Amino acid sequence: MGITAKLDDLGKPAWIALMILGFLAYWPLGLGILAYVVWSGRMRCWKRGGYGRWHNEGKDGMREAMGRWCGGAKRGYSSGNSAFDDYREETIRRLEEEEREFKDFLERLRQAKDKSEFDQFMADRGRRAPQGPEQSPA
């Protein structure tokens, strides 16, 4: 088993660690590893086919790996249990709605804080006495 196959079995973190070590040891080595990883398609999670355990599309291992390396479980994937799939979809929809509401709340909170700080700045600025032309010491 070659080093690329071993690194493919470990996944993206192993390639990234090797690349960082290459940069730390000798920057052209790290650059070469980066070029190889990009050119070979090992950093593309949307690439069809892939390498190592991602090579066979129909296997569950690829689905798990794609979920792990490309942003979590995919919605279109069925567990085989329709009741669970419905529950999962409803839970994901509810969580996305809560996330959207929370982001809206945070945005309103930031706007209120900005407005408060600006109002305080304007009030402090208005309290300062207008100064006339300064006279230089003669």
Give yes or no: residues 1 and 58 share one domain. Answer: yes
Q: Which amino acid is at 128?
A: R
Q: In this predicted model, what pLDDT tens digit does every residue of 45-56 receive, in sequence order? A: 544 444 444 444
Name the domain count of the chain: 2
49 & 110 share domain: no
pLDDT tens, position by position, 60-74:
555 555 555 555 545
> Closest Cα partner for 74 from 24, 65, 56?
65
Give me the count of residues in the chain: 138
Same-domain pairing of 65 and 111: no
Count Cβ atoms below 10 Å from residue 19 Cβ, excluding itself: 20
Domain hosting 115: range is 78-124
Domain shared by 84 and 104, yes or no: yes
In a shared domain, residues 10 and 65:
yes
Q: Could you tell me the pTM of the whole model? A: 0.37
Q: Please state the three-class secondary structure of the chain as a single string.
A: CCHHHHHHHHCHHHHHHHHHHHHHHCHHHHHHHHHHHHHHCCCCCCCCCCCHHHCCCCCHHHHHHHHHHCCCCCCCCCCCCHHHHHHHHHHHHHHHHHHHHHHHHHHHHHHHHHHHHHHHHHHHHHHCCCCCCCCCCC
Which of 36, 51, 74 is the C-terminal boundary of a domain? 74
Q: What is the average pLDDT value for the chain, to the nearest integer?
A: 77
